[in-house]
Amino acid sequence: MSDVTTSAVSQPTYSLAELDKESRMGGPGIENTAREIRRIDLSDFEARKAEITEELWAAATEIGFFQLVNHGMDQALVEDAFANAERFFALSEDHKARHALKKGLNSGWESMTQVRPSIGTADQKESYQLTRPHMEGLWPDDVLPGFRPRALDFEARCREVAMRVLSCFADKLGFDSDFFTRAHDPASAQYQSTLRMLHYFAIPEDAELDPDVWRAGAHTDFDCLTLLFQRDGQGGLQVCPGREAEAQEWTPVVPSADVITCNIGDMLMRWSDDRLPSNFHRVTSPGPGEDRGARYSIAFFAQADRDVVIEGPESRYPPITAEQYIQQRIAANFAR
């Protein structure tokens, strides 16, 4: 396909197979520490692009989850992004509520409103979403000077890394290298990629842990590609490749501050005619003897502009705009 946008597509609501799968993933499963989470070195990207492309494709098609090293984002920049997030979450509930989530636009602050189809209970966290075209009234710069430029700069740098990775997938799928870059245009009013700051609440030492409550229930992401930044020592993330979902074998991902952990999302799975599988993941609550302190992470979700039509090279699925696709997923995951 040579053109990524259209204004003519009008599709009915689809019954998304992704949600059907997700609804069956709420059990505890078993732990599998033997599964490999591959690390892909992005250094000297232009000269090594063919080699990197093959490594990314193998990791993505076989596992759906991988980590990037030598990705070009300075560690001081990442640490500053975490500090920026902590400053926001330290604000009072009343102040954060002034920047409340704009429903359907993935922008602003929410707390314990995301309900996964896998478990039916709210994730034990709060988050702040940055989606460029929809941020009017949502910036807390009146009490956090510099918050906005820091967040926007970090979002832009995340997009650069994501587009490098997606250009490799474009090559393998038979699109031109800039296909996904054009589909994620930060200058467009249709842009809907999102930077998400996440704060998982600390758990009191004397609190009993409900086995049916998770920091984040099992799910796949809505987008094309997720970049996740974690802090050393703040674990809990577990992954289960989509093609192995029925076995429900979960592999812990040891957090490392100098890597970017990535997974394929449902949008790219559909766009690739299922050649690139999305990946189930979750964030567990602390077990006996584990640290119950707060957990912070930052995610960038590369999701195509609203007017972009998602249709794979082989047209396995009916065409659907990215706006229609994301709205269906948001509606299924947030409490009304």
5 vs 87: CA distance, rounded Å: 38
Type of residue found at 19: L
Return the H-helix or E-strand segment holding 226: strand 225-230
Q: Which of 236, 335, 328 is nearest to 17 (CA)?
A: 328
- Under CATH, what is the fold of the domain 15-334? Jelly Rolls (2.60.120)
How many other C-beta atoms can be found within 10 angstroms of the C-beta atom of residue 46?
7
* pTM over cut 0.85: yes
87 vs 81: CA distance, rounded Å: 10
Residue 243: predicted pLDDT: 61
Q: 66 and 51 in contact (C-beta within 8 Å)?
A: no
Contacts (Cβ under 8 Å, ≥6 apart) of 15: none
Residue 88: predicted pLDDT: 98
Token pair recorded at residue 144 = 């956090």
| Lowest mean per-residue pLDDT among 75-79, 100-104, 210-214 | 210-214
Q: Is 77 helix (H, G, I), strand (E, B) or coil?
A: helix
Q: 267 and 322 in contact (C-beta within 8 Å)?
A: yes
Residue 1: predicted pLDDT: 38
Task: Give residue limits of the domains in the chain.
Answer: 15-334
Q: What is the pLDDT of residues 30-82, one digit of tens each?
A: 777 778 889 999 999 999 999 999 999 999 998 889 999 999 999 999 999 99
Q: Which of 234, 243, 336 is nearest to 292 (CA)?
A: 234
Contacts (Cβ under 8 Å, ≥6 apart) of 72: 42, 45, 160, 161
324 vs 327: CA distance, rounded Å: 5
Q: What is the pLDDT of residues 158-208, one digit of tens each?
A: 999 999 999 999 999 999 999 999 999 999 999 999 999 999 888 777 777
Token pair recorded at residue 184 = 């994620």
53 vs 170: CA distance, rounded Å: 10
Rounded to the nearest 10 degrees, the angle between the axes of helix 147-173 and helix 45-62 is 80
Token pair recorded at residue 322 = 């990215």
Per DSSP, helices labelled H in the chain are 17-22, 45-62, 75-89, 93-97, 147-173, 179-183, 266-271, 322-333
How many helices, marked H, and strands, marked E, lie in the chain? 8, 15
Whether the pLDDT of residue 335 is over 70: the answer is: no
Q: Could you tell me what percent of the chain has a pLDDT over 90?
A: 60
What b-and-e string marks burial along 323-333, b requiring 16 or more CB atoms within 10 Å of the CB? bbbbbbbeebb
Q: Which of 11, 8, 79 is nearest to 324 (CA)?
A: 11
Q: What is the pLDDT of residues 108-147, one digit of tens each?
A: 999 967 665 555 666 778 999 999 999 999 999 999 999 9
Whether the pLDDT of residue 6 is over 60: the answer is: no
Q: 96 and 88 in contact (C-beta within 8 Å)?
A: yes
What b-and-e string marks burial along 200-216, b requiring 16 or more CB atoms within 10 Å of the CB? bbebeeeeeeeeeebbb
Token pair recorded at residue 169 = 């997938």
Residue of 23 and 106 predicted with greater confidence? 106
